[in-house]
A = this chain, B = another copy of it.
Amino acid sequence: MDYPVSAKMRSLKPSAIREIFRYAADPSYISLAAGSPAPEALPVKLAQRLMAQVLEEMPMTALQYNMSEGYAPLRQALRDYLSSRHNIIKAFDDLIITSGAQHAMDLTAKVLCDEGDTVICEEPSFIGSLNTFRSYGIKLAGVPMESDGIDIIRLEEKLYANPHAKFIYVIPNFQNPTGITMSLEKRKAVYALAKKYGTLILEDNPYGDLRFAGEALPSIKSMDEDGIVFYAGTFSKILSPGIRVGYLIAPEAIMGKIIVAKQCTDVHTNMLGQSLCHRFMTQCDVDAHISSLKSIYAHKCSLMLSEMEKHFPRTVTWAKPEGGLFIWADMGMDGAEIAARLVAEKRVCIVPGSAFSTDENTNTTTARFNFSTPPDDKIITAIGLAGELLREIVREGTIHN
């Protein structure tokens, strides 16, 4: 039987990353394709202790239905933390708990956009968010990245060409996939341009806390005086992704619609995860925990970079990220073909740059390498194998750009 498929979903393909994720179950492969926290970054003892407390002290709250906008004490804890530390929640803002940050993109897109609307994004950008936008029939207008963030001149061109663009989607800190951090000047410029062209901004900050080098920069949301910035955050990278708890900060004037949209997807975010996050924020030394994560990722990043130095041919280039989970490399050759051969010949998974394009049929010479998930020995093995293949290819001259 032929099933009807909505126009918005018809051309949508599964995320290349989620598909590559399937190899992760096979121990004969090494995956540098995921964006998962390091196993040693997941606070097992803490989760055991806090979950036991939750189910001992407030089992009814943890097991029963709750409010669509989220568990009130968690919302308060986040408000306190984000306003005191990051100057993020303004008087005109409200905060809703979402089922991971992905759900924050989903709700924002659903509430703001009709099919055929345009969203402007960094090019390349996080495939998960791009697919969410596509799943609502949204057109993507990509603006190239430079080493200090989105190309501001091209951004203005896109805004001028798309006067009804609903929002600009950006990941200013250690962007996924490029690892690039947007400069302070560019953050200000993006805000000014959004204001000038009467569009909104969706700022996605999953990795902001994981800065292991350089100076912290203020978020675009912290500059928001006009109620034009939506801000998505998550516990996935600082506590656990399996619990699926994120949040969305948006002006109160639009939050009513976002809450209704939330009711319509999953009624509310799971209470075991929300209770865990609440206890984590109010009973634990969050700074110390994040500090320990930074050491883990600083080490892993530096290990992968030094292995790349050792093994990759000179034709391959990359930038050193100041945080996050990814190294973005320009292979000087077709990235998709290299990624395919790397899986087939060396059992190493990376994500080709094309996966992150607004047009997935684009050829790119780039690829994303994740350093957070594999253990050290696998990083060493995988980069060695990738280097082997890259040198072979250069020798053979089988792939040219």
Contact = CB atoms under 8 A, between A and B. Distances in A.
Interface residues of A, number: 86
A14 B263 contact: yes
Contacts of A226: 1
Interface string A41-55: 010100110011001
Interface in A63-122: 63-68, 98-100, 102-103, 106, 110-115, 117
Interface stretch (A144-152, A153-161, A248-256): A248-256
Count identical subunits in the complex: 2
Nearest to A228: B1
A128 interface: yes
A259 interface: yes
Interface string A209-252: 00000000000000000111000000010001111110000010
A400 interface: no
A254 B9 CA distance: 11
B264 A132 contact: yes
A268 interface: yes
Given A242-B271, A244-B270, A265-B266, 7 more contacts: A8-B114, A21-B67, A42-B63, A42-B64, A47-B62, A103-B265, A132-B265
Interface of A: 1, 3-9, 12-15, 18, 21-22, 34, 36-37, 39, 42, 44, 47-48, 51-52, 55-56, 59-68, 98-100, 102-103, 106, 110-115, 117, 128, 131-132, 135, 166, 200, 226-228, 236, 240-245, 251, 253-254, 256-257, 259-261, 263-273, 276
